Amino acid sequence: MLAVSAALLLAACGSDDPVGLEGFDTVTITIDDQQLSVAVADTPALRSQGLMGVTDLGGLDGMLFVFEEATDGGFWMKDTLIALDIAFFEAGGVFVDGFTMEPCAENPCPVYHPTGTYRYAVETPAGGLAFVGEGSVLAPPA
């Protein structure tokens, strides 16, 4: 009986359900020819929460941050538990900047600023956006 319980627990841990992303819609986006399944942070509250505290993305590749207008605001990693790649895109989907951000448990945490303004930012676990760079284009969801 103990072995059956352990097997069920392990199966549950391998779930495709993300942990800590309740309340986020999910969509598929395309960067260049790569499709990514992402949670959408399109309100101030969801953007503020981001991937803080998330340890398991389940079947998702990352998160898409959507802003109503162009911004140059930075991102930080306070209480984010995994290293993340981030890529910034203009309203038309053209790549602006990108880099890897490291977790930060205590203030002051560094703020990561892109080199220009953007309307969209995409975060994935570190290494997930290695294919993105100058000339890359995001096709955001309709």
Residue 103: how many CA atoms within 13 Å on its side-chain side?
13
Domain annotation covers residue 97: yes
Residue 59 lies in a domain: yes
pLDDT tens for 97-109 read 999 999 998 889 9
Say if 7 falls within a structural domain: no
pLDDT given for residue 17 in this prediction? 62
Rounded-to-10 torsion of CA 32, 93, 124, 46: -150
Helix (H, G, I), strand (E, B) or coil at 131: coil
CATH number for position 100: 2.60.120.1140
The position carrying tokens 């389940």 is: 58
- C-alpha–C-alpha distance, residues 70 and 55, integer Å: 30
- Residue 102 is given by DSSP the state -
Regions in the chain scoring below 70 on pLDDT: 1-19, 142
Q: What is the pLDDT of residue 5?
A: 33
Q: Report yes or no on 2 lying in a domain.
A: no
Helix (H) or strand (E) holding 22: none
Which domain, by its residues, includes 28?
A: 17-139
Mention every residue, 6+ apart, whose C-beta is less than 8 A from residue 66: 40, 41, 42, 119, 120, 140
> What would the pLDDT profile of 113-127 be if each residue is shown by its tens digit?
999 999 999 999 999
118 lies in some domain: yes
- Answer whether residue 4 is part of any domain: no
The answer to whether residue 1 sits within a structural domain is: no
Q: How many domains does the chain have?
A: 1
Predicted local distance difference test score (pLDDT) of residue 55: 85
